[in-house]
Chain A
């Protein structure tokens, strides 16, 4: 089955700096790679996702890149702000015409943005 590895487990940056979180996956059949942000006591919130037919996607300060050959995908946050502090999870799964199958999550990265 699918296995997702996520690094680093903790990341501390200064406000305004960039943050990068990296994930690898094992199942070449996976075609959907979402990123979730989870604040303390809350459920995961989708922040960006990418499908395997594109290599990069950007939404304001957040971007995700995907290397299908190497089975790597990364989250890039630019101009970080204190409110970006949270735990971030990558995940991998398969989507098809009628919906999506289960997601397999990484162990998470605790991001701290210091003012």
Chain B
């Protein structure tokens, strides 16, 4: 079946602009996770959803970052007033209700100029 998909695959924006990154999880997966990966590092947790609600948003670096999952499927990560330090690969993963294995998408490469 289809895996986790993320759009866009690449995004270039200017400092100060607003961006939205989209994640389509595997059909039927109740949990959805956002991670950020800087060059040469492992993924770092941002936020995770169980259904529509954010179960843990402790990884969001500041209030410029926000994520939603209004219908319990697709999620959007929103970054306001982007900074050059926000440049990274943003990864999304989803997990079924049982088992807990997290399956990752290909990521969105964000470059803030």
Contact = CB atoms under 8 A, between A and B. Distances in A.
B100 A100 contact: yes
A45 B42 contact: no
Interface string B41-71: 1111100101000011001000000000000
Contact of B42 (A43, A93, A97, A108): A108
A25 interface: no
Interface in A1-42: 4, 6, 32, 34, 36, 41-42
B30 interface: yes
Interface string B81-94: 00000000001000
Interface residues of B, number: 30
B102 A107 contact: no
B41 A107 contact: yes
Nearest to A100: B100
Contacts of B104: 36, 43-46
Given A44-B91, A107-B41, A107-B42, A102 B101 contact: no
B95 A100 contact: yes
Contact of A101 (B48, B98, B107): B48
Given A89-B42, A100-B102, A43 B91 contact: yes
Interface string B19-58: 0000000000011010100001111110010100001100
15 contacts: A32-B100, A42-B106, A43-B91, A43-B106, A43-B107, A44-B104, A46-B102, A89-B43, A95-B100, A97-B98, A99-B97, A99-B100, A102-B45, A105-B43, A108-B42
Interface of B: 4, 30-31, 33, 35, 40-45, 48, 50, 55-56, 59, 91, 95-107
